[in-house]
């Protein structure tokens, strides 16, 4: 069993400061989800600033959603500084496989920086682990979707990728898979409407980084708890929606649900399998 209560309470007790080099489409949502879950955000992507900022934070969240030459340089500077200080670093390889720039940047980051966690959709992770190009923009290709017929194969390549990189691998979608190369967690929480808002994955990466900073003794459990928490929050947010509410209202309700989430809700609503 995953100690969900401990992970949540440790996060809220420690209020970890997370440095985000993230995309400008969802930067505000990432800041708000960090505040909602119990963390604290700071955003910085200038090469003259990132090393100092990383130095005062507990962890670093790197999101490649809106890459440019300047931010790529900043990611390497901040990542190496975080490694030097022993801080957890998370990579969200948004759109890996969709362009050479994204794929090359993500692969080079993995070569030069020690990541605690790599979190992405199935197509992004396959692009990095197997060199395949099958992403649909920044979304997963439907042909890659995890199902009963292919889940064992997905788990096998995710475990291999985890062992090769030393990172906990989190593949998120309708079914989430988390592995540290040995342990595997299959998570079934969430709601399809989460795919109808911009930034659900970006917010999840920011929040997961905070969970990991607060629970460094077991990164695997921290990542699992974060994914379960976000999934449950999505379910709660959907139940709150009225007849005139749409995806914009859902996004706000999702952040509210993360803010109000209790350890009892985590325990009662978590749907996962450990292998």
Mean pLDDT to the nearest integer, 244-272: 98
Enter the tokens of residue 178. 């988390």
Mean pLDDT to the nearest integer, 18-22: 98
Among 127-136, 152-161, 213-222, 233-242, the minimum mean pLDDT is found in 127-136
| CATH superfamily of the domain spanning 4-274 | Ribokinase (3.40.1190.20)
Mean pLDDT to the nearest integer, 193-207: 96
Confidence of residue 145 (pLDDT cuts 50, 70, 90): confident
Q: Strand 17-21 relative to strand 40-43: parallel, antiparallel, unpaired?
A: parallel
Q: How far apart are CA 44 and CA 48, in angstroms?
A: 10
| pLDDT, mean over the chain | 95
134 has pLDDT over 70: no
140 has pLDDT over 60: no
Confidence of residue 132 (pLDDT cuts 50, 70, 90): low
Mean pLDDT to the nearest integer, 169-181: 97
Judged by DSSP in three states, 169 sits in strand
Q: How far apart are CA 181 and CA 155, in angstroms?
A: 9
Residue 164: CB atoms within 10 A of its CB come to 12
Mean pLDDT to the nearest integer, 186-200: 96
pLDDT at residue 144, rounded to an integer: 72
Residues in the chain: 275
Enter the tokens of residue 145. 């979707």
Strand partners, 74: none
184 has pLDDT over 90: yes
143 has pLDDT over 80: no
Percent of the chain with pLDDT over 70: 96
**Residue from 104, 180, 160, 8 nearest 170 by CA:** 180
Q: Where are the domains of the chain?
A: 4-274
Tens of pLDDT, residue by residue over 226-240, are: 999 999 999 999 999
Strand partners, 127: none
């Amino acid at each position: 069993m995953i100690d969900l209560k401990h992970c949540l309470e440790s996060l809220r007790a420690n209020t970890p400061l997370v440095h985000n080099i993230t995309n400008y489409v969802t930067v505000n949502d990432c800041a708000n989800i960090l505040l909602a879950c119990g963390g604290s955000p700071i955003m910085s992507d200038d090469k003259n600033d990132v090393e100092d900022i990383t130095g005062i934070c507990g962890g670093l969240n790197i999101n490649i959603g809106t890459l440019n030459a300047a931010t790529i340089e900043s990611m390497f500077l901040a990542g190496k500084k975080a490694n030097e200080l022993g801080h957890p670093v998370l990579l969200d390889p948004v759109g890996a496989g969709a362009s050479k720039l994204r794929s090359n940047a993500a692969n080079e980051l993995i070569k030069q920086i020690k990541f605690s966690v790599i979190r992405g959709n199935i197509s992004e992770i396959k692009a990095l682990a197997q060199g395949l190009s099958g992403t649909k923009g920044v979304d997963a290709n439907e042909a890659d979707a995890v199902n009963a017929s292919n889940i064992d194969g997905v788990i096998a390549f995710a475990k291999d990728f985890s062992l090769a990189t030393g990172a906990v691998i989190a593949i998120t979608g309708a079914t989430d898979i988390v592995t540290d190369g040995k342990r595997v967690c299959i998570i079934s929480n969430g709601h399809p409407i989460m795919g109808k808002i911009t930034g659900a994955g970006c917010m999840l990466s920011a929040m997961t980084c905070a969970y990991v900073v607060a629970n460094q003794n077991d990164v695997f459990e921290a990542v699992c708890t974060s994914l379960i928490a976000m999934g449950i929050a999505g379910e709660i947010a959907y139940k709150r929606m009225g007849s005139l509410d749409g995806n914009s209202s859902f996004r706000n309700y999702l952040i509210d649900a993360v803010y109000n989430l209790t350890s009892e809700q985590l325990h009662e609503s978590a749907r996962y399998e450990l292998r």
